[in-house]
Amino acid sequence: MKAVILAGGFGKRLRPITNNIPKPLIEVKGKPIIVRQIEWLKIYNIDEIVVCVGYLKEKIIEYLGSGRKLGVKIIYSVEDEPLGTGGALKNAEPVLNKENMFLVVNGDIITNLNPLKMLRYLDTRAIGVIAVHALPSPYGVLEIDKNNFITEFKEKPYLYDYWINAGVYLFDHRIFKFLPEKGDIERTTFVELAKAKRLRAVKYSNVFWKSIDTHKDIEEVEKIL
């Protein structure tokens, strides 16, 4: 099974770092995000990777090369203009059209979740499966009893009544019929598939997951690592 890493974004919220470095090459604890992703995929014997590149693409291609130094085979799908996450995946169809199914990973997440857990949820009804993670509260939470006494302080707990898109997807080949030529998959394809009940979610608990969107995210992940 091949994996696709969506690595073409601008990383605007991480400027000025991303003025000269594409987001996937930002180092977290001495290692680029995309290298951590490749090492994670290798744990699950996924060693054929399609990297969708756009912004500062030449730097990613130069750094990763063929993938041999990381023990994988890398194929590049190049955007000549910004296409969004859906358009970027559609653009990669020529190198994926022989795959019955494939994994897709946003190029800004670091996780240790097991992506193979999603395999059993893909069937004739479900075209795609999304890994979801409990929403981490950005604030500490108080437990308050019926008499308004505070009974407990919980420091930034996970809110298991709410689940967020973890940026890891499993698709079968039918997905290409639903992808836009340009646009984000979250705002186009996922909305359409959800309405038709063709999209499943797999809940992940007790795993490490973090999206690198801001400078603060880098600091937090480095402390944990």
pLDDT in tens, 63-94: 999 999 999 999 999 998 889 999 999 999 99
pLDDT at 197: 93
Query: What contacts 43, CB < 8 A, 6 or more positions away?
Result: none
CATH of domain 2-132+165-224: 3.90.550.10
Q: CA-to-CA distance for 133 and 87, rounded, in angstroms?
A: 25
> Structural domain boundaries of the chain?
2-132+165-224
Closest CA to 89 of 179, 220, 200: 179
pTM (predicted TM-score): 0.88
Mean pLDDT of 21-43: 92
The yes-or-no verdict on residue 138 having pLDDT over 80 is no
Query: Looking at 69, 154, 156, 203, which residue is catalytic?
Result: 156
- Per the DSSP assignment, residues forming a β-bridge with 109 are 211
* Both tokens assigned to 152: 């407990």
pLDDT at 43: 95
156 is annotated as an active-site residue? yes
Cα–Cα–Cα angle for 224, 68, 129, rounded to 5 degrees: 55
Round the average pLDDT of the chain to a whole number and report it.
89
pLDDT in tens, 161-176: 789 899 999 999 999 9
